[in-house]
Structure formats: C-alpha cells, structure tokens
C-alpha cells in the first residue's frame, strides 16, 4: 500500500509595509494620499512660487508628513527690517534672527540642526512686498537666503520646501488699473510670480505650530 506525504508550504511573512497596507482601511489610505498630493510633484528641497497651491492644503500636507509648518504674512511690511521682524516673529525665532539676512539664515540652519533630528519643513511667505522700499534686489536676497537654507537641509537629507507670493496693491480706479507700490520695479521687469496677489484685510492669518524657541533652547 502506497503512502502519501502531504507537504504544506509555509506562508511568506509580510514585511512592515505590507502589514500596514493590509491592516489600514482603504478610506484612511485614500485620505493620506490626498493630503500628500499637493507635494507629489514638488522637489523635497526647493523655493518656488506658491502658484495654484492653497495655504490650508500645504498645512494639511505638512501635518500628514509630520513636517514643521511655518507661515508668515508680510502684507503690512514697508521695509526690509519689517520683513525680517515679521518673519522672525511668525517663525518664533529669537530677536537676533531679525538683525539681517545672514542672521535669518543662521536661525533656520545650524541651531535647529544641533537641537536634534528634524522631520522636515514646509514654509509659506505670503505677500512679500514689491515696492521701492523692498525692491527687486531685496526680494532676490530674501529668496536666496531661503534657497541657501534649502540646500543646507538637503545636504542633511531633511526636506525643506518654501512657497512664496508677492503682494501688489491695486488702485481702486476703474479707468486705469494703475498698480500702487510698483516704483521699485525696473522698466520691463517681470514679476517673478505667475499672478498678482491682492492685499486684503481678510488675508489668511495662521499661527505656526513650529516653536523655534523650544528647539533652540534644547540645543
């Protein structure tokens, strides 16, 4: 009489990703994917015009990714010092970070890096002034500081995305849509953004959940 031996193949073990995939409800995965969608086509370390992005969507994406979210509305800034002061205050940086552009760069780099591992950053600079007291050169210097910060964190494998818009106040005259505050623009100079943004008293104001003071104290 012949004997038969039954051999049962053991089930391969699931890795952590597969376990998460099978245990996570479909609706939750769809929600996570939707939150990350705004940044799927954006490099991890970049400074770019905000364009079609919405600030609340960027904030939600930061929350989903576990990144710090920093927001500054510069609509009321009238000078370079105003810009520095408003950014330092909105980002909860110490007072010395508002002394000049180099101090601002320092506040976004070494002290935070030395304070401990950072998950990533999403920053929004909304309504950067575009007038004679904050001209093209000043605007480029400001953005260069953030570009250098993006490179700094890129070298350390930490995402750093900065989105910005320029603020242009429009005159109420219907006959000639003259734009106030454009004295600082050279003739033929194009605004380095895809669209002009109206300054509105209803502009979104959002406090940053990122507390630089906490991280700097921990350094």
Summarised one tens digit per residue, pLDDT across range 65-83 is 999 999 999 999 999 999 9
Quick: pLDDT tens for 180-193: 333 444 444 444 43
The DSSP symbol for 158 reads -
Nearest residue to 93 (alpha-carbon basis) of 76, 79, 108: 108
Sign of CA dihedral 161, 29, 208, 166: positive
Cβ(163)–Cβ(58) below 8 Å:
yes
Nearest residue to 193 (alpha-carbon basis) of 159, 210, 168: 168
Quick: pLDDT tens for 38-75: 788 899 999 999 988 999 999 999 999 999 999 999 99
pTM of the model: 0.65
CA angle 195, 137, 80 (to 5 degrees): 90
The structural domains of the chain, ordered by start, are 42-201 (3.30.370.10)
Task: Identify the residue with better confidence: 155 or 188.
Answer: 155
Nearest residue to 53 (alpha-carbon basis) of 76, 71, 80, 66: 71
Quick: pLDDT tens for 14-39: 544 344 434 444 444 444 444 456 78
């Amino acid at each position: 009489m012949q004997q038969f031996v039954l051999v049962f193949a053991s089930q391969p073990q699931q890795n952590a990703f597969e376990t998460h995939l099978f245990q996570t409800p479909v609706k939750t995965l769809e929600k996570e994917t939707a939150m990350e969608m705004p940044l799927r086509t954006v490099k991890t370390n970049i400074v770019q015009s905000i364009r079609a992005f919405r600030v609340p969507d960027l904030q939600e994406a930061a929350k989903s990714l576990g990144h710090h979210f920093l927001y500054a509305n510069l609509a009321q800034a009238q000078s370079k010092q105003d810009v520095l002061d408003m950014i330092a205050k909105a980002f909860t940086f110490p007072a010395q970070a508002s002394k000049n552009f180099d101090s601002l760069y320092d506040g976004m780099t070494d002290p935070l890096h030395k304070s401990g591992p950072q998950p990533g950053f999403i920053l929004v600079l909304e309504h950067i002034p575009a007038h004679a007291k904050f001209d093209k050169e000043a605007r480029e210097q400001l953005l260069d500081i953030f570009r250098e910060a993006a490179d700094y964190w890129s070298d350390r494998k930490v995402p750093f995305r900065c989105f910005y818009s320029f603020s242009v106040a429009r005159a109420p005259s219907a006959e000639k849509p003259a734009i106030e505050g454009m004295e600082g623009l050279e003739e033929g100079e194009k605004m380095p953004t895809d669209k002009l943004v109206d300054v509105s008293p209803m502009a979104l104001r959002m406090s940053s959940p990122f507390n630089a003071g906490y991280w700097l104290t921990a350094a």
